Amino acid sequence: MERLSSSNEVIRLFVLIVLSLLVPLLPWLVSGIGTAVYQPKKKQELLQREQAFAKTSDVLSTLSKPLSGKEVKEYQVLMTNVVMSPSWIQILVGGILSLFGGEINVFTKVVDWSRREAQQRLREQAAASGYDEVINVRMETTTLSKIRGGKDKTTGIEVLAYGTGIKY
Amino acid sequence: MQPQVNIPFSNTETIPGMTITQMMGVVTGSTVRAKNVFKDIGAGLKNMVGGELKAYTELLQESRNEALYRMLVDAQARGANAVVNVRFATSSVAGGAAELLAYGTAVVVQ
């Protein structure tokens, strides 16, 4: 009888220790689920938005004049930006991969995603204000950081896309 | 919101339908901004799953408009009536602040 209750206590203690070890891992679990579920969902949405615009030829161009040579009646500088951040898991994996060098695939995906998002927003903004084309498109990327515990940590990257919207 | 300065600006070399008669030099406008602590915490939580940090997107949008406005004020002070070849540059300053710079060439157009 005495021995049974003591073994029960040992099991209870063991479960408690395992649980207390799991609690710090909980944010990582959330991060993992977020990376696996939330990000693909958002990317799918972006793809659908892009496909809606892909029916006509792309309105964005990096040329400083409209290719068609038509006279410009109205113009305005349009700019769109987006701040994206890799998830904790992606930062962890990226950190491990960067030890070996070469392409850090997880970060490539995030940067590519944000650049596509910024471009798509520029297309949408141009369409919403009725511009026929956006010329002289420039893109620019910056990392945003903040200080946490005396160390400079990257929180996200900002992609800015801007150009001149024109009406023929 | 700041008052509007009514100067046409473009990021191409010319203002469509007008000719440049005089150049007034390079004009710049810049601002350094940081988000408040609570928004930082919110962004920190969003950091966990990755994806867009809307608070920062809005912050940078507002600040860039401010930088643009300062550039236009600078152009007006120099007696220019248009700004061409506008470019934007961003850099992150320590402490969670970002500097946004807008620069261009102030010109007189007719």
Reported ipTM: 0.82
| Alpha helices per DSSP H over A23-158 | 26-33, 39-53, 88-100, 105-128
Domains of chain A, residue spans? 2-167
pLDDT tens profile A29-87: 888 888 888 888 888 888 888 888 877 778 888 888 887 777 888 888 898 989 888 88
Can you list the pairs that A93-99 forms with residues at least 24 positions away whose Cβ atoms lie under 8 Å? none
Task: Select A2-167's CATH number: 3.40.1580.10, 3.40.50.720, 3.50.50.60, 3.30.110.70.
Answer: 3.30.110.70
> What is residue A115's predicted lDDT score, i.e. its pLDDT?
92
Q: For residue B50, what is the nearest residue in chain A, using CA coordinates?
A: A87
Give DSSP secondary structure letters for B54-77. Answer: HHHHHHHHHHHHHHHHHHHHHHHH
pLDDT tens profile A148-162: 555 556 678 889 999
B73 part of contact set with chain A, CB < 8 Å: no
* Residue B105 clears pLDDT 60, i.e. is over it: yes
Task: Select B20-109's CATH number: 3.30.110.70, 3.40.50.2300, 3.20.20.140, 3.40.50.1970.
Answer: 3.30.110.70
Residues of A in contact with B92 (CB under 8 A): 142-145
Residues of A in contact with B46 (CB under 8 A): 85
Is residue A144 within 8 Å of A156, Cβ to Cβ? yes
Domains of chain B, residue spans? 20-109
CA B98 – CA B90 distance, rounded (Å): 7
Portion of chain A with pLDDT greater than 70, in percent:
92
Contact A158 B52 (CB under 8 A): no
Measured between alpha carbons, how far is residue B74 from residues B83, B85, B100, B109 in Å? 10, 15, 16, 16
CA A97 – CA B82 distance, rounded (Å): 49
- pTM score, two decimals? 0.81
* Residue B41 clears pLDDT 60, i.e. is over it: yes
